[in-house]
Amino acid sequence: MSIDTAFTEFPVLTTDRLLLRQIQPTDAEALFEIFSDEETMKFNGHPQQGSIEETYEWIRVIQGRYDRQEAIRWGVTFQDTDRVIGTCSFHRFGPGYHRVEAGYELNRSFWGQGVMFEAMSAVVAYGFDDLNLHRIEAIIDILNERSKELLLRLGFSYEGNLRQRFYMHGQFEDEYYYGLLRDEWHRQKGIAE
């Protein structure tokens, strides 16, 4: 699959337990539950959503970013139910679509169950194997231990930080950068280049 195909027909991904699909306006209630939760949004870099109307607007924004070939955001569901419990995304594609930044959120009710590791494993594999990306990046708050552990389990390496680069919660915060290269991913999965 090419990057053009990814932005022509939304890429649906499956794992043993999960379905990653395009987000729809009918997902607003489930998404509002995630994006209005203070604990879930603590390290997100975006303010909590204060109303369902904000969630509907956010859905319109992510659909527009997809239409402009700027980002792909999947809604994460269990295969036996269609309720969105989280999201995963590729955004900030680099020139030529050789690199991308990844992001993710999960409804707090499902933390500690391996859901995001399973979902992001599928997203990373799709990026390297189908989109032929060279590099996937993630930027986190270093205090977000869950996110740091997830990235390390996926094989990402800590690459450094940019001091006081991001303004959040009334103060400047450092951004911590993690990266994963296609050949590193393939080596850990036993795939020959």
Specify if 121 maps to a domain. yes
Q: What is the DSSP string of 151-181?
A: HHHHT-EEEEEEEEEEEETTEEEEEEEEEEE
CATH number at residue 72: 3.40.630.30
Domain that holds residue 66: 3-138
Specify if 39 maps to a domain. yes
Count of domains for the chain: 1
Specify if 107 maps to a domain. yes
DSSP 3-state assignment of 124? helix
The answer, as to whether pTM is greater than 0.85, is yes
Specify if 22 maps to a domain. yes
Per-residue pLDDT of the chain (193 residues; tens, 9 = 90+): 678 899 999 999 999 999 999 999 999 999 999 998 777 767 666 776 789 999 999 999 999 999 999 999 999 999 999 999 999 999 999 999 999 999 999 999 999 999 999 999 999 999 999 999 999 999 998 778 899 999 999 999 999 999 988 777 788 888 899 999 999 999 988 776 6
Specify if 36 maps to a domain. yes
Q: What is the pLDDT of residue 135?
A: 98
